[in-house]
Amino acid sequence: MRLVLAEDSTLLREGLARLLAEEDHEVVAAVGTADELVEAVERSRPDVVVTDVRMPPTHTDDGLRAALEIRRRWPTTAVLVLSQYVERRYAGRLLADRPEGVGYLLKDRVAQVDDFLDALDRVAAGGTALDPEVVRQVVAGSDRPDPFGRLTPRERDVLHEMAQGHTNAAIAERLHVSQSAVEKHVNAIFDKLDLAHVAGYSRRILAVLRYLGT
């Protein structure tokens, strides 16, 4: 796949670019500012953007705001956000508006290369890849009631795995339970989040994002 990489740390940017190249991906641009990111996407129209949150010029949330602009101007471009923290306001907007082809991982995941590459593939394919901590913090920052209060601990575990884009079979393997048990938990989650009869949308995504937003 063709990627644009945005990271203001030269060492991390070069390391990620090398890792992606070794996996036979084409890094068409590797930039260090949010403005350069938007310009690179306009120029090269990549399949995926991988971006940090805190970048020049203000070193606050420039990368995430650039991601929102990219999704608005080029809706088919997938975006994977990497950050050391969760920026609730813009993360909620990025995820709630149109979550297909969007990921938000904490940078600890980059150290887990297989998890990072798996998330990248899922986002590029139009899926969603969310770190469970991102989900927790965005939901905690919402004014809406916590929809997870009705879920059992095991249902929460299943939902966290769903948030990372895993299939029922993969969840069963990761949680060491049967696939039929996972299916029962998934159906219970849909029921408790009032998604049992929703049609025309991915209920798996809605189960994660139902109460997200600002």
To the nearest whole number, what is the mean pLDDT of the chain?
82
pLDDT of residue 200: 45
Secondary structure (3-state) at 87: coil
Closest CA to 36 of 11, 13, 58, 6: 6
Model pLDDT for residues 145-178, shown as the tens digit of each residue? 556 678 888 988 888 787 767 789 989 999 999 9
The answer, yes or no, to whether the previous bond of 57 is cis (omega within 30 of 0) is yes
When pLDDT is cut at 50, 70 and 90, the band that residue 140 belongs to is: low
Q: Are residues 135 and 163 in the same domain?
A: no
Secondary structure (3-state) at 32: coil
Residue 192 has pLDDT above 90, yes or no: no
pLDDT of residue 214: 32
Q: Which of 2-16, 79-93, 172-186 has the lowest mean pLDDT?
A: 79-93
Instruction: Judge contact between 165 and 101, C-beta under 8 A.
Output: no
Q: Domain span at residue 201? A: 147-209
Which element (helix H / strand E) includes 63?
Answer: helix 62-73
Model pLDDT for residues 11-24, shown as the tens digit of each residue? 889 999 999 999 99
How many domains does one find in the chain?
2
pTM of this prediction?
0.68
**Does a structural domain hold residue 214?**
no
**Does a structural domain hold residue 183?**
yes
Domain boundary among 117, 140, 163: 140
Residue 198 has pLDDT above 60, yes or no: no
Q: Are residues 160 and 108 in the same domain?
A: no
Number of H helices, E strands in the chain: 11, 6
Q: What value does the mean pLDDT take over residues 87-107? A: 75
